[in-house]
Copies of this chain bind each other. A is one copy, B any other.
């Protein structure tokens, strides 16, 4: 399980997480504005995701309808953890410190995070 999903594959996943099931054409279409990929490329990515077990497909006549087989939430949490482990010894605060220091969180961002923390505490 948990075969790594590549960047390109991830783009495809985002499309399916936003809407599914979709066939290869639909996926290629939704990707059109972000990526200049041919349909062939999108098909390849879908096959690889299928092989990795990240999407499932169901037959609909002569074509396939694809849908995510993993939760975006899980994927995102996994990637987040990976990064935080790799770069911050597993601690979140240094990540926040870094981003904050270098890109100035807006007051709104800060308020949002504080609210979030307050909620977690309860």
Contact = CB atoms under 8 A, between A and B. Distances in A.
For A73, A100, A113, A114, which residue has the most chain B Cβ atoms within 10 angstroms? A113
User: Dominant SS at the A interface?
Assistant: helix
Given A109-B92, A112-B93, A102 B77 contact: yes
Interface of A: 7, 10, 73, 76-77, 79-81, 83-84, 86-88, 91-93, 95-103, 105, 107, 109-110, 112-114, 116-117, 120-121
Contacts of A76: 87-88, 98
Nearest to A120: B100
Contact of A99 (B81, B86, B102, B105): B81
A25 to B, nearest CB: 25
